Homo-oligomer: A and B are copies of this chain.
Amino acid sequence: MNLKELSDFLKLSPTTVSRAINGYPEVSEATRKRVVEAAEANNYHPSHLASGLAKGKAMAIGHVIPLSKHMVMNPHFSDFISGAGDVYCKAGYDMLIRVVAEGEEESVYKKLAKDGRVDGVIVHGPSNYDARIEALQDIGIPFVVHGRTNQDESTYNWVDVNNVRAFKRATNYLLDLGHRDIAFINGFEFMNFAMRRRSGYEEALHEASIEINPEIMFTGEMTEPQGYESMKQLLKRAKPPTAILLSSILPSMGAMRAVQEAGLTVGKDVSIVTFDDQLSFLQNSGDIPMFTSVRSSIRDAGVRVAEILLDQINQPKADPYHELWEAELVLGKSTGRPVSV
């Protein structure tokens, strides 16, 4: 059943029926009631394609998600997406996802933005210099970046965590406890967030006049095995570091496993501080959380990013909008003074 049929059935014009259904003010209460009831009874739902075409709005937001070489989705996405998706849903928007091979992202973004299927897009996982930003600016479609790049950040919308500060604080906390050998297991450093985290770590060490030691710094895809393997390497050293900083709770689980396998105790023999995105399925909670961490919810980020994008769509001339969040430092069971001190 389409609009025409429904209006024939009601002996009304399509116009009136459309107005009634979309809640326009000029239609009388009596007819509105009749229309809505008939629509319900006949199980009529307006075609989104047709209304989108007519109004020039797609009522959808695009996400482009790159698969890594192993064809997997970064697990951090699922929490971000559940936050964003919830916002869209409440506002009547849909989430459109394109999963693409790494490298094709820019062209896919362009196509997505141009073919009129979405009213705005989210940029995930910005690299240090990210061509998507200029591409989207050229096209003129509203977008919000989750994170930042090294490009002029005043020209686009973004929400980011203060990664430099977070990792500086984390490092300082370990220094205060008396640690001097602090390893760092980071994400890939072409990702902007990872680069900033490294800066925070290095700044803190510099200020404490401790030399940076590349031998105890790792980068890679933030997975459980990454943490496990890296930690195993570290424990093999003649003088293993007494503390480790990690970029996500996933490798932290792996690191903990390696420590325990070696018969050592986390929080005593080895201190661990992690960045806790508060992944829903790996809660670092309890009376005293398992891990000491710098914490910021990635789901909340998804919510805010989505809200900001919808705002920008409704006020296209608004100035670029930014939010920089501070991470909490939460003490857990995984840190203590180094034994030898």
Residues of A within 8 A of B (CB): 43, 45-50, 52-53, 58, 60, 65, 67, 70-75, 77-79, 81-83, 85-86, 88-89, 94-100, 111, 114-117, 223-225, 250, 253, 256-257, 260, 279-283, 285-286, 290, 299
The copy count of this chain in the complex is 2
Most buried by B among A89, A98, A111: A89
Distance in Å from the Cβ of A272 to the closest Cβ of chain B? 13
Interface contact A111-B45, CB-CB below 8 Å: yes
- Residues of chain B within 8 A (CB-CB) of A88 are 98-99
Interface contact A224-B283, CB-CB below 8 Å: yes
Interface of A is mostly: mixed
- In the complex, A60 Cα to B285 Cα: how many Å? 39
Interface contact B95-A89, CB-CB below 8 Å: no
Q: Given A111-B45, A299-B72, are A94 and B86 also a contact pair (CB < 8 Å)?
A: no
Nearest B residue to A278 via CB reads B72
Nearest B residue to A1 via CB reads B114
A223 CB contact (under 8 Å) in B52, B97, B98, B281: B281
Q: Given A49-B52, A52-B49, A75-B281, are A85 and B111 also a contact pair (CB < 8 Å)?
A: no
Q: Given A49-B117, A115-B45, A280-B73, are A97 and B95 also a contact pair (CB < 8 Å)?
A: yes
Interface contact B99-A98, CB-CB below 8 Å: no
Interface contact B58-A85, CB-CB below 8 Å: no
6 further interface pairs, Cβ-Cβ under 8 Å (given A48-B115, A89-B99, A223-B282) = A47-B116, A50-B116, A65-B85, A67-B86, A85-B97, A89-B98
Interface contact B72-A85, CB-CB below 8 Å: no
- In the complex, A114 Cα to B43 Cα: how many Å? 9
- Residues of chain B within 8 A (CB-CB) of A286 are 225
Interface contact A96-B94, CB-CB below 8 Å: yes
Q: Given A78-B78, A116-B48, are A280 and B58 also a contact pair (CB < 8 Å)?
A: no
List 9 interface pairs A-B (beta carbons < 8 Å), by A numbering.
A45-B114, A47-B116, A48-B115, A73-B280, A85-B97, A96-B97, A223-B280, A224-B283, A225-B286
Interface contact A75-B72, CB-CB below 8 Å: no
- Residues of chain B within 8 A (CB-CB) of A60 are 96
- In the complex, A168 Cα to B23 Cα: how many Å? 56
Q: Given A48-B115, A72-B82, A281-B224, are A94 and B95 also a contact pair (CB < 8 Å)?
A: no
Distance in Å from the Cβ of A167 to the closest Cβ of chain B? 22
Distance in Å from the Cβ of A137 to the closest Cβ of chain B? 14
Distance in Å from the Cβ of A120 to the closest Cβ of chain B? 15
- Residues of chain B within 8 A (CB-CB) of A77 are 78
Interface contact A72-B79, CB-CB below 8 Å: yes
